[in-house]
Structure 1
Amino acid sequence: MQLSLTTPALLFSAISLLLLAYTNRFLSLAALIRSLGNQAGACGVADAQIANLRQRIRLIRWMQEAGVLSFTLCVLSMLLIYLDKHGLAFWSFGASLALLIYSLMLSVVEIRISQKAIDIFLDSLKR
C-alpha cells in the first residue's frame, strides 16, 4: 500500500474536532462537579454521582491522551513521508489510527456512564 502525504493530512480536521468535543465534555463535567459541590443533597445520591463523575473524568483524560497521541503520530507519519521513510510512516500512521479507534471506544464507554449518571439523578427525583 502506498501512503501519500495527503492521507494522514485528512485526519487533521477529524482529530482536531474530536479533541474539541472531548474538551467540551471535560469542561461540562467540571462545571457539574462544581455545582454538585455547592449542593447539600442526599448523601447516597451525592456519593453515587461523585463516583460516576470520577470515572467519567478519568475516561475523558484517557480519551484526550489517546487523541493527542494519535494526532502526534499522524504528524510524525507526515514527517516520515517527507523524509522518504515510507515503512516507518506506514506504521506510524497505523498506530495513529489504532489510537484514534481506542479514543472513540473510550468515548462510547463514557457516554454509557453518562447515561447511568442521568439514571441516578432520575431515581433521586422519584423519592
Structure 2
Amino acid sequence: MSNPMQTHGAPSWIQHQGSDPAAARKFYETVLDWHVNDMPMGDGSSYPAIVVGDTPVGGFYPQPAEEGAWTVYITVDNVDVRFKKAVDAGATPVTEPTSMPGVGRMATIRDPQGGSLALITYESQQ
C-alpha cells in the first residue's frame, strides 16, 4: 500500500476542531476506541494525535473553535500551485498557503459547492 502522506491526491490526515478539544478527544476515545497520543511539536507544544495501530491518522486541534468540524487533508505535490488552481477554478480561500515547521506546507479552500478541505505537502515530500 502506498503512503498517503507521499501520494498526490490521497486523503492523508483528519483533524477535529471544536469548542472543547479535550471533551471531543474523550468522546471519540470512548465511542471509537481511538488511542490518542500527545505528539511533541517543533515549538515545544504537543498535539493530540489519533493513532490507529502504530500509525498517526489525525488529531484534535488543541485550540477551541466556535464551530465543530472535521477537516480532511489531501496530499498534493505543491500546495501553492494547487491552491492557485483551486482559486482560479472558483474555490474560496479559507487559509492562504503557510508553512508549519516539522509538518509541511498547507492551505484550506472551500469549493464552489461549499465543501472545505485542506491541501498539504508534507516536509518529507519536499
TM-score (norm 1): 0.20
Per chain length, whose mean CA-contact separation is higher, i.e. which structure has more relative contact order (CA < 8 Å, sep 6+)?
1
Which protein shows a greater Rg? Answer: 1
Q: Which has the higher strand share?
A: 2
TM-score (norm 2): 0.21
Q: Which has the higher helix share?
A: 1
